[in-house]
Amino acid sequence: MSEPKSVRINAVVTKNQRKKWKDYVEEEGEYSSLSDLIRTAVEREINRSDTNPQSEDSIQSGEILDRINELGQRFGSVESRLSAIESKSQKQPEIGQLATKIYKILPEIKPGSREWDKKKRDLHDESQVHDSQDIQLQKLKLEGTTEAFAQILDEPEYRIQEAIDKLQSDTYSVLSVEYDGQTRYYKEV
């Protein structure tokens, strides 16, 4: 005796569930009967499990976790950079004020130029006649070195360098040149 083509399977569901399924069959028009809906749903579930051992939900969860980890790393990087900026900005007001003072005393003549050499000679000659503090101050300003600025402003040389670095990053008018074995700074006006 051969096996019958169809076998009846009984399933127990609530009246509300049965009504919901029947309404779906009638509204969608994709299924010929309630039995067709159930057979199709069961087959889809089996096929999904057979072709994809991991459920779509677990794959999506894995992708979401990867994205969360990536975002966490980026956030950590941003936090580090923000911390560095905060630290730098806390000392910036002092450096900014020092930079303003330095800008005011930067020579407007390029060190090593003919004009600079002439000005240096003139100040030297004038200091031979009148050795005043004003002339000494003008001579130091004309040097344009961090050492000279540190002496004029009574600041450590490393802070003078920080302020000059800030000036050079903030404005293109503060330039440097190597002359007589020293880096000298000046401003173009």
pLDDT at 80 over 60: yes
- Alpha-carbon gap, residue 167 to 185, rounded angstroms: 11
Confidence of residue 157 (pLDDT cuts 50, 70, 90): very high
pLDDT digits (tens, 9 = 90+) for 20-35: 888 888 888 888 888 8
- Alpha-carbon gap, residue 112 to 90, rounded angstroms: 37
Q: Work out the average pLDDT over 148-176.
A: 93
Most confidently predicted of 45-49, 72-76, 158-162: 158-162
pLDDT digits (tens, 9 = 90+) for 94-106: 888 999 999 999 9
pLDDT at 171 over 70: yes
* pLDDT for position 147: 96
Where residue 130 falls (left for φ over 0; alpha for ψ -120 to 50; beta otherwise) is beta
Tokens for 155, please give them: 């600041």
Share of the chain above pLDDT 70, in %: 87
Residue 143 near residue 176, CB atoms below 8 Å: no
* pLDDT for position 145: 95
Question: Is the pTM here over 0.75, yes or no?
Answer: no
pLDDT at 175 over 80: yes
Q: What is the average pLDDT value for the chain, to the nearest integer? A: 84
